[in-house]
Structure 1
Amino acid sequence: MAENGAGTYEQILADLMDREVIHRHDRVLVQFAGEFDRDVTRRLGLTRCTFTNLAPTSASSRLPEARTADAHHMDVPDRGYDHVIGHAGLHHCSRPHEALHEMYRIAAKTVVAVENQDSPLMRVAARLGLANSYELEAVADGGGVSGGVDGTGVPNHVYRWTRREVTKTVRSFDPGRDVPVEFHSRWLIGTDRALTSSMRSLLGDDASGRAALVGAVNLGLNAVARRQGNIFGFTIRKDLAAPRPWMVAGGAAGAGVAA
């Protein structure tokens, strides 16, 4: 299930604003942007947002003001924005780590992303046919010409992340500094587009009954195994980065190395 973590995305951003990590008038680059992203940033009162699309030729944004750009190679200077945020876009990239690197490079303070988690329970769900590995439905929603990998009509593989993978990736991006990462996870299954045929057969055709059952399943999963949830958000805190001991002049392994 490449689920829509819309609520999680907005909650993470609102929490960062409440903690004064993000301020209303900060410069924010919104990657993989669509109408949803515009609406979220408006509700939160963010006033200096720039919206970009997944790829120069992608029609998947459906947001007229979104700039055409290649998420893997952005024409933006290092630390060009205070914050770079993206909802459910990295798994549409043919090179997701490269796209995340661009988000990291461009951000001066934070990177916020909401994707899918590669947890043990999600792996079981995928093997049972209860979670999609390729987003056929997204391409169908795009009329067969968009919604897939790099915004094309080819259904993308649903790349799912783990906490360890994100941590190792950030360390590779910035090996000279200790950069904290905040993680957020929850279960959110059962949106119509995300339902596999196996799930539909299990849940039946009654829409109200299906919604009630899915709601109960989500509630139960979040009560006992929230950490393994399919919705996975992470905030990379470049604003809290500190040099590694060996990068500080006089450090045990880094004497003479500039801070």
Structure 2
Amino acid sequence: MNHYDFYLTTLEKLLAQGILNKSMKILVVCGGSADKEMLLKAGFEKVTISNVDSRQVAKDYEPYDWSFQDCENLSYLDETFDFGIVHSGLHHCASPHKGLLELFRVCKKGILVFEPKDNLLVRLGVKLGFGQEYEVVAVADSDCLYGGVRNTAIPNYVYRWTERDVIQTINCYAPQGNHKFIFINALRLPWWRLKKLARRDLELWIRLLEPFLQVLSKVFPWFNNNFAFVVLKASIPEDIHPWLKQTGDKIETNREWFKANYTSVK
């Protein structure tokens, strides 16, 4: 499955499940023309696409809005948008975790993220040269002008996530309630990168191994090299932890719960 087929099918799946709807106010960070194309195909109406790329022109994103935004330091207030999307962009951040949490902060209902996945098979692929530790191909493709960390010409380290990494990052930032996490695994072979390498044997090896990798990805989905993850924000007070309570607009400790569970609280 290529990058954009997975993007579109994931959007369609989430629409069918009622997690997304086409009238939601959507923010895309680290965005570009591919985001516009996929979101238009899926039928979304109210979309703002953003990036730190000063070469972008707003009219190229019509009928959607364009905004120059650093996803690690978004200018928007908390919960300005309904849902946030980032497609293969967080690993271009100086701090992917900060980019994730900023997107989470400015969205009311949740976020959808597509990123490389970390596992033993992926690490082996990187060591053998099939994958990248630093994303040099994007910089090479721009004639060494941009495409690296924070869209500079310095190749970014490719941060790869795990499910546990996502859960811990969100729960540390927003410990008030039970957030919901959905993970969708995918095998995304790096044909675009391999075709640009001077070494032609790597593409040949992947073509030979592709049937085996496809079977492996279906039998053991945790071995896939990419995934999408959805984080649905806890609804307060319904999803609040029992050791907390909501009083007006304020969340505070539930002293009665602590008294019932710990002798140190009187």
Does TM, normalized by the shorter one, top 0.5? yes
CA distance 1:123–1:247, shift in 2 (3 Å):
same
Deviations 1:120-175 (A, max 9, x none): 21112222222111111101122211111001111111110001100000101101
Q: CA deviation at 1:14?
A: 1.2
5 Å matches for 1:119-130? 119-130=119-130
AA in 2 matched with 1:222: S
Contact 2:194-2:202 within 8 A present in 1 as well: no
Unaligned 5+ runs, structure 1: 205-209
The alignment's C-alpha RMSD in Å is: 2.7
AA in 2 matched with 1:185: N
AA in 2 matched with 1:168: Q
Whole-Å separation in 2 of the counterparts to 1:144 and 1:16: 37
5 Å matches for 1:14-25? 14-25=12-23
Contact 2:178-2:234 within 8 A present in 1 as well: no
Whole-Å separation in 2 of the counterparts to 1:61 and 1:227: 39
Whole-Å separation in 1 of the counterparts to 2:172 and 2:29: 22
Stretch deviating more after TM superposition (244-253 or 93-102): 244-253
Give the structure 2 partner of residue 52 of structure 1. 50
Deviations 1:23-67 (A, max 9, x none): 1111000111111100000000000000101x2x55489984432
Contact 2:22-2:45 within 8 A present in 1 as well: yes
Q: CA deviation at 1:21?
A: 1.7
Count of aligned positions: 246
User: Is it true that 1:253 corresponds to 2:251 in the alignment?
Assistant: no
AA in 2 matched with 1:252: W
User: Is it true that 1:230 corresponds to 2:225 in the alignment?
Assistant: yes
Q: CA deviation at 1:92?
A: 0.5
Give the structure 2 partner of residue 111 of structure 1. 111
User: Is it true that 1:188 corresponds to 2:188 in the alignment?
Assistant: yes
Runs of 4+ aligned structure 1 residues displaced above 6 Å come to 60-63
Deviations 1:211-257 (A, max 9, x none): 853642442222232222111110001165711111134662388xx
Q: CA deviation at 1:80?
A: 0.4
AA in 2 matched with 1:225: F
5 Å matches for 1:166-177? 166-177=166-177
Contact 1:187-1:221 within 8 A present in 2 as well: no
Normalised TM-score (structure 1): 0.85
Give the structure 1 partner of residue 263 of structure 2. none
CA distance 1:38–1:49, shift in 2 (3 Å):
same
Structure with the larger RCO, 1 or 2 (CA within 8 Å, 6+ apart)? 1
CA distance 1:195–1:10, shift in 2 (3 Å):
same
Q: CA deviation at 1:194?
A: 4.8
Asked which structure has the greater CA Rg, the reply is: 2
Indicate the percent of aligned positions where both proteins have the same amino acid.
Answer: 28
Unaligned 5+ runs, structure 2: 246-253, 261-266
Q: CA deviation at 1:22?
A: 1.3
Whole-Å separation in 2 of the counterparts to 1:219 and 1:109: 34
CA distance 1:199–1:9, shift in 2 (3 Å):
farther
Contact 1:245-1:254 within 8 A present in 2 as well: no
Normalised TM-score (structure 2): 0.83
Stretch deviating more after TM superposition (78-87 or 121-130): 121-130
User: Is it true that 1:221 corresponds to 2:206 in the alignment?
Assistant: no
Q: Give the secondary structure class of the aligned counterpart of 2:102.
A: helix
Contact 2:118-2:161 within 8 A present in 1 as well: yes
CA distance 1:69–1:215, shift in 2 (3 Å):
same
CA distance 1:220–1:22, shift in 2 (3 Å):
same
